[in-house]
Chains A and B, each alone.
Chain A
Amino acid sequence: MTRTGPAPALAAAIACAALFVAWEIGARLARIDGLPPASQALAQVPAILGDPEALLNIGASLRRMVVGFALGVAVAVPVGLTMGRSRHVAAFFNPLLMVIYPVPKAALMPVIMLWLGVGDASKTLVIFLGVTLPVIYHSYQGSRAVEQKMLWSAAAMGMTAPARLVRIVLPAALPDILAGCRVGLVLALITMVTSEMIARQTGVGNILFNSLDMAQYDTVYATIIIIGALGFALDAAFEWLRGRLVAWAEPAHPILAGTT
């Protein structure tokens, strides 16, 4: 009911405009070197998007992100669904996940770089690790909540256990799985940027810190705007897709919360 019609989109556009106006006024009042007015930063955005090298960098970042995300979802969904259906599997994985949860995945970058080098493999692996946990958690919650009677009926009709998992648990848990994927998608973007900030070779995170080192503050802020827009656009696109896939389910949370 909150998402019908153009009202939320309009409100979001107004909110964006208000942010930029506040930034412009604040920067003009504060007159700090490190905070150029919004208009100057926005003027740099086309320059970055028109630079083939920068585009190549952004493209490479996005490719790693998509590969890491896809691998993460492919591994996490079966694990999460099985955990939800079997108490023993859940008991097996839960403590391990609790230990891994507070470790910043991008912080593993230096260690993984020792093993796999500085190339795509390390960065993709880190993104994969970042995506897996929230998707497992949400799939687990979704699969745990599946009505037991449906599974009994299916078993009584002769459906095997793997078939039950695919044909009953998977669709029933789909809203939760997609909620997890939404968190995972934004996490993939965050891990991507962070890993590039830590291993400064290529990518968006590298543009950000190179321009910071060279004191090109307009470019720094323009890159921040691009990354922010990317996050918002990915989230909005995923929400649209989710609305299509599980139109029958209540939207759990209209706004994304809790990602790092």
Chain B
Amino acid sequence: MKALTAPLAAALIGSVPILLIIALWQVIAMSGIAPPSLLPAPGTVFTRLLQQFGSLAYLDHAATTLGRLFAGFAIAVVVGVTLGVAMTGSRWVGAAITPLVRVLAPVPKIALYPAFILTLGFEDASKIALVVADAVFPILLATSQGTAAVEPKLAWSALAAGASRLRCLLTVILPAALPSILTGCRIALVISCIVVFLAEMITSTDGLGHLLVRAARNFQSVDMFVPLITISLLGLLLNAGFNAVRRRLLAGFPEAD
């Protein structure tokens, strides 16, 4: 009984700060300390949000953002997992890539955005490149750490039983390193979400980030909050979706939770 109610109680406690913030927002908006042009009432913002979810133009912008996000994330997963496996698989590749990663990982990737604009243009390609640059490092590091931690005896047994190196990689090493790889992918997914929005804010003609900047230029404060709430919801949805996929993939792993 207690085990059943504990998550419910936690959810109730957890909803308190969010409700408090919305209540405080409502009070400030109603009291007239802040004019509606600076802080629109929460009711107005959420009505506008629902209204926008029914608007094709808005959904089109959201779809553009999502398209860039997934393109960048997918490339980052392929590149990151491949390089990560290569780093553990071969001492030479590891020795070549590790210092590069050490130098590049703490560099603020957003600073590279002007370089991407200059070489790849103002369109989708530069934004996707920025997402890849930001998302690839967590995946790469998680993969190399995950594959390095695989029990070597597992691989030896598979090789001794006559499996080829490729088959051993695909059926033994990658599945064993999967929990770690997925953790890296989850961090990368949220990062992609943030980066694509920022890139659209800096230079873009479409997407959710552009909508925020356009609203800010026109002092439409209600429309400034709507893309922000949308990106937060998208992040939560993507995270929940990813967790569902992760639970399916990791069914039977002891560390899955």
Question: A residues near B, CB below 8 A?
Answer: 8, 11-12, 14-16, 18-19, 32-35, 87-88, 91-96, 98-104, 106-108, 110-111, 113-115, 186, 189-190, 193-194, 197-198, 208-209, 212, 217, 220-221, 223-224, 227-228, 231-232, 234-235, 253-260
Contacts and interface: CB of A to CB of B under 8 A. Distances in A.
B118 A217 contact: yes
A19 B103 contact: yes
Contacts, number: 192
A233 B31 CA distance: 48
B107 A103 contact: no
A257 B142 contact: yes
Contact of B212 (A14, A110, A114): A110
B195 to A, nearest CB: 6
Given A92-B17, A208-B114, A197 B137 contact: no
B234 interface: yes
Closest CB pairs A-B (n = 9): A102-B235, A34-B118, A95-B14, A110-B216, A235-B106, A11-B99, A15-B99, A91-B10, A228-B107
A260 B195 CA distance: 7
B197 A260 contact: no
Interface string B114-141: 1101110000000000000010011001
A14 B100 CA distance: 9
For chain B, which range describes its interface: under 10, 10 to 19, 20 to 34, or 35 or more residues?
A: 35 or more
B161 to A, nearest CB: 33
B110 A92 contact: no
B231 A253 contact: no
A94 B102 CA distance: 32
Residue of A95, A256, A260 with most chain B CB atoms under a 10 A cut-off: A260
Given A94-B14, A227-B111, A257-B184, 17 more contacts: A18-B100, A35-B118, A91-B10, A101-B190, A101-B235, A102-B194, A102-B234, A103-B235, A106-B201, A107-B212, A110-B215, A115-B38, A189-B108, A193-B111, A212-B114, A232-B103, A253-B145
Contact of A99 (B9, B193, B232, B238): B232
Contact of B18 (A99, A223, A224): A99
Contacts of B215: 110
Contact of A258 (B9, B18, B191): B191
A107 B98 CA distance: 32
Contacts of B232: 99-100, 102-103
Contacts of B52: none
Interface of B: 9-11, 13-18, 21, 34, 38-39, 95, 98-115, 117-119, 134, 137-138, 141-142, 145, 184, 187-188, 190-191, 193-195, 197-198, 201-202, 209, 212-213, 215-216, 221, 224-225, 228, 231-232, 234-236, 238-239
A188 to B, nearest CB: 10
A32 B120 CA distance: 10
B10 A255 contact: no
A103 B95 CA distance: 36
A92 B14 contact: yes
A108 B105 CA distance: 25
B187 to A, nearest CB: 4
B110 to A, nearest CB: 5
A99 B13 CA distance: 15
A95 B22 CA distance: 14
Contact of A14 (B14, B99, B137, B188): B99
A114 B138 CA distance: 35
A107 B198 contact: yes
B93 to A, nearest CB: 13
A106 B114 contact: no
Contacts of B17: 92-93, 95-96
A11 B236 contact: no
Nearest to A13: B99
Contacts of A209: 114, 202
Contacts of A113: 216
